[in-house]
Structure 1
Amino acid sequence: MDETTPGPRGIQSIETGGQLLIALANHGRPMALKDLAAAADMPPAKAHPYLVSFIKLGLVEQEAVSGRYGLGPLALQLGLISLQQYEPVRLATPRIEELAVLLGHTVAIAVWGNRGPTIVRVAEAPSPVHISMRHGTVMSLTGTASGRLFAAHLPAAVVKGKLAGERMPDAALLAAVRRNGLADSQDGVVQGVSALAAPVFDDAGRIVLSLTAIGPSGSFDLRLDGALAPQLRQAGEDLSRQLGWRPAAD
């Protein structure tokens, strides 16, 4: 006779309500009540009390005008903490501290989050002139070096799902990013700010994060053979090798 051992008992109501959070996370954008309830396989009247409780906890928030439901500040904070604990991020964190000193500019780590390229670590420039970046900032896919880097190395369908009203970056620009091993931006989203971003790949050749140096355009060297690019590219390659990546020529 076959015997099965039941798993640990949970609280069914929490598991049921959790389907709403899963639906929001999978959809990636705020949803109307009827659509959210359908995605969680429950009637709207059953979903609504769960959403009220989730709003009180900060796991869900409701848009004042449209009434749609999206992930709340606590859910986003938990997601950011999860991204920060990602193994490649822990590996890269001490490296950006070194790079900030070496390059003389602020250096950040960005990963691909549920809203697009997201800053999860920042090492401030040692010089009195530096550009601040905040943890949790979601970077433009078209106007920032980090965004262009991910757009160049991720499948087009994945990128298009996070454009949020932006146009897909030019194909020639993305090809240049892949060819040069770096993405750049000058006076893009913020006038007077420039950036360079280098990819870090895992053992399967997938981009897992970007190393992004950012600084005032007047003192920021964007040349591929300049003072910043070779150092940043080398740091990305070193970290990639530590994660098991090997270039095609190896």
Structure 2
Amino acid sequence: MEEDDNKAERDRRGIQSVEVGGQLLLALAHQGRPLALKDLAREAGMAPAKAHPYLVSFGKLGLIEQDEATGRYGLGPLALQLGLISLQQADPVRVATPLIAELALRIGHTVAIAVWGTRGPTIVRLEESPAPVHVNMRHGTVVSVTDTASGRLFAAYLPPETVKAVLEDERRREQLERERPPVPGMPRPEPLPTWEAFEQQLPEVRAHGMSRSEGAVIQGISAMSAPVFDHTGTMVLAVTAIGPTGLFDTRWEGPISQALQQCARAIGRRLGERLP
């Protein structure tokens, strides 16, 4: 037992001077701009005389550099290189997965992650709520561009030519289905809109920064979806909450909307998000 305690203590043990100096790097990252010595020291919670030796050492490593004209300190080339490598290694789905599990518990509804695949919006993760919604959705499911919250979200933020090509494929498949003999007792779905008609729905999505669907795909099921952007400003994920219409609040300023946006921004921050 004592050996285990000693091992735990060794695992926790760090180099205090590194942790102290690291506060200067955190302060620069938080402020997002070069700072004078006194301002940087204040943000890091230390005296300028204490901060200066750390800055000298960080400067030798390339983590910090000082502008010769202004004397201000900013992040150096090594810090920028490390940041770029971190962004390149960040997998949006891996980053998002634990956060959508927390979100599903928080709002009490199923939460899905969709990415843009070769055939359009594709579900890659599904976190069931404590009372799961029974819909025909699983990993790998491709959902409609026009009829789903996540589909309209991608349509609003991806290049129009990319979305238009997928919509035209959907329309061709729909036409083939309509040419087959009807199934008795099964009503034919409404024809998919043209790109020109569908495009008129997208300004509302951009205005709210979200999309919603109220019983359009499955009667009695509603959804809301929020976008996640990466460091280039490209939408990489749609985080979508799904629930029974009677219990699912689709108000733009409602608690589900706010929780979705908070989750999407938390994911985005870890990806170095740049909002469009």
TM-score, normalised with respect to structure 2: 0.56
In proportion to residue count, which structure has more helix? Answer: 2
Q: What 5-or-longer segments of structure 2 have no aligned partner?
A: 1-88, 172-191
Q: Give me the CA root mean square deviation.
A: 1.8
Alignment CA distance shift 1:240-1:86 (3 Å): closer
The one of 204, 213, 223 equivalent to 2:251 is: 223
**CA displacement at 1:176 relative to structure 2:** 1.3
Q: Give the corresponding residue for 2:265.
A: 237
- Mapped contact 1:131–1:215 kept (Cα < 8 A): no
- Measured in 2, the distance between the counterparts of 1:200 and 1:131 equals 26
Alignment CA distance shift 1:86-1:134 (3 Å): farther
Q: Give the corresponding residue for 2:174.
A: none
Q: Give the corresponding residue for 1:92.
A: 96
- Mapped contact 1:187–1:194 kept (Cα < 8 A): yes
SS in 2 for 1:161: helix
1:67-146 alignment to 2 at 5 Å?
87-127=91-131, 130-132=133-135, 133-146=137-150
Deviations, residues 141-195 of structure 1 (Å, cap 9, x unaligned) = 1110010000000111100111110433633421111121110001111111100
TM-score, normalised with respect to structure 1: 0.62
Q: Give the corresponding residue for 2:241.
A: 213
Q: Give the corresponding residue for 1:171.
A: 199
- Measured in 2, the distance between the counterparts of 1:157 and 1:215 equals 32
- Measured in 2, the distance between the counterparts of 1:110 and 1:247 equals 19
Alignment CA distance shift 1:88-1:185 (3 Å): same
- Mapped contact 1:196–1:222 kept (Cα < 8 A): yes
Matched, 1:148 2:152: yes
Q: What 5-or-longer segments of structure 1 have no aligned partner?
A: 1-84
- Measured in 2, the distance between the counterparts of 1:245 and 1:189 equals 31
Deviations, residues 9-62 of structure 1 (Å, cap 9, x unaligned) = xxxxxxxxxxxxxxxxxxxxxxxxxxxxxxxxxxxxxxxxxxxxxxxxxxxxxx
- Measured in 1, the distance between the counterparts of 2:134 and 2:236 equals 24
Deviations, residues 113-140 of structure 1 (Å, cap 9, x unaligned) = 011000000000013x524431111010
**CA displacement at 1:86 relative to structure 2:** 8.1
Residues matched between the structures, number: 163
**CA displacement at 1:240 relative to structure 2:** 1.1
Code of the residue aligned with 1:149 in structure 2: it is: L
The one of 230, 233, 258 equivalent to 1:202 is: 230
Code of the residue aligned with 2:233 in structure 1: it is: G
- Measured in 2, the distance between the counterparts of 1:176 and 1:88 equals 26
- Measured in 2, the distance between the counterparts of 1:228 and 1:138 equals 24
- Measured in 2, the distance between the counterparts of 1:245 and 1:136 equals 25
Matched, 1:180 2:171: no
- Measured in 1, the distance between the counterparts of 2:249 and 2:200 equals 22
Alignment CA distance shift 1:154-1:171 (3 Å): same
Q: Give the corresponding residue for 2:22.
A: none
- Mapped contact 1:110–1:211 kept (Cα < 8 A): yes
SS in 2 for 1:211: strand
Deviations, residues 204-238 of structure 1 (Å, cap 9, x unaligned) = 11000100000111111000111200110111112
- Mapped contact 1:119–1:135 kept (Cα < 8 A): yes
- Measured in 2, the distance between the counterparts of 1:121 and 1:245 equals 21
